[in-house]
Amino acid sequence: MDRFLLNSHNRCVEEESIPSTSNSPTVKKRKYRKYDDSYLEFGFTSTEVNGEERPLCVLCMKVLAPECMLPSKLKRHLETNHKYAVGKSRDYFDRKRKELKQEKSIFFNNASIPNNALIASYKVAFRIAKCKKPHTIAEELILPAALDMVNIMIGESAGKLLSKVPLSNNTISRRIHHMADDLNDHGLKDFFYNFRNEGFESSKKIAQNLCEGLDIQAVFKQSRIKKKVRQFNYESKDARLNSAEQTFYDDYFLAVIDQAIVSINERFEQLSHHSEYFGFLYNIENLKTFDEETLRKHCMDLEILLKDGENNDINGIELFDELKIFCRILNKQMTSIECLNLIETTCGSFPNISIELRILLTLPITTASAERSFSKLKIIKNYLRTSMTQNRLSDLAIISIERDLCENLDYNDIIEKFAEIKARKIDFM
Q: Is the pLDDT of residue 158 over 70?
A: yes
Task: Output phi, psi for 41, to 5 deg.
Answer: -65, -20
Question: In DSSP terms, which residues pair with 46 in a beta bridge?
Answer: 55
pLDDT, residue 22, reads 43
State which amino acid sits at residue 265. N
Question: In DSSP terms, which residues pair with 48 in a beta bridge?
Answer: 53
pLDDT band at 168 (very low <50, low <70, confident <90, very high): confident
**Angle, vertex CA 294, rays to CA 289 and CA 299, nearest 5:** 110
Q: For residue 91, which of 162, 43, 45, 49 has the smallest C-alpha distance?
A: 43
pLDDT band at 274 (very low <50, low <70, confident <90, very high): confident
Specify the long-range contacts of residues 187-195, CB closer than 8 Å, at least 24 apart: 188/264, 189/261, 189/264, 189/265, 189/268, 192/257, 192/260, 192/261, 192/264, 193/261, 195/257
C-alpha distance from residue 259 to each of 83, 183, 370, 371 (Å): 71, 20, 21, 19
Residues 218-268: pLDDT tens digits?
887 777 766 666 666 655 555 555 677 888 888 888 888 898 888 888 877
Confirm if 135 and 168 have CB atoms less than 8 A apart: no
What percent of the chain lies above the pLDDT cut of 90? 0
- 376 Cβ partners below 8 Å, 6+ apart? 397, 400, 401
CB neighbourhood size of 323 (10 A): 23
Distance of CA 162 to the CA centre of its chain: 29
pLDDT, residue 239, reads 56
Please report, in angstroms and rounded to a whole number, the separation of the first and last CA atoms in the chain. 79
Q: Where do the domains of the chain lie?
A: 33-111, 115-180, 278-362, 379-422
What percent of the chain lies above the pLDDT cut of 70? 78
pLDDT band at 25 (very low <50, low <70, confident <90, very high): very low
